[in-house]
Amino acid sequence: MLLYIIDGFNLVYKIPSVKKSDIPQLELIRYIKKHKLTGSNNNKVVIIFDGSVQMQARNESEFEVIFSGTRSADDLIKARIDKIKNSKYPVSELVVVSDDREIRDYAKKQGAVSQRAVNFIKLEKQSANEESKDISYPLQKEITDELRKIWLKE
């Protein structure tokens, strides 16, 4: 099972239909679900937004939605990465989605996978073309885990 930590507004500004919404935080949640950008429903998702709480977005999701308040979303993302690293959860199953180079570098240094926002939403664009044969990271991970169970009896 993968855990995604998403820098919310990085993604909002990459998706025109979400950016134009009256409540872009809520629209982003719906977009991620509709296009299954995080793969399996078993994967966990944490979306961190800069700014004050938008209750409708927070209450309408099985995703964990965090608003930074007076702190920066970047600080909260780093704190969440540290919390996961110090827990029993394997950091190698953590995927951090951000366009902030400092966040991506920090995630990699801690052993997590990092992705730019455009690469995260690229999955949806590829399915419209059907030309690319690349498979998403969540699917790669699920296939690998399944093959480990079969071949290595883990």
Does the 3-152 domain belong in CATH 2.50.20? no
For the entire predicted model, the pTM comes to 0.77
Q: What is the pLDDT of residue 72?
A: 94
- Is residue 75 within 8 Å of 68, Cβ to Cβ? yes
- Is residue 77 within 8 Å of 5, Cβ to Cβ? yes
Task: Express each pLDDT in 115-145 by its tens digit.
Answer: 999 999 985 444 444 444 567 777 888 888 8
**How many C-beta atoms lie closer than 10 Å to residue 58's C-beta?**
18
d(CA 50, CA 69): 7
d(CA 48, CA 67): 6
Task: Express each pLDDT in 62-89 by its tens digit.
Answer: 899 999 999 999 999 999 999 999 898 8
pLDDT bin (cut points 50, 70, 90) of residue 147 is confident
Give, as one character, the DSSP assignment of residue 111. Answer: T
Q: Where are the domains of the chain?
A: 3-152
Environment class of 109 (CB within 10 Å of its CB; exposed 0-12, middle 13-18, buried 19+): exposed
d(CA 94, CA 32): 17
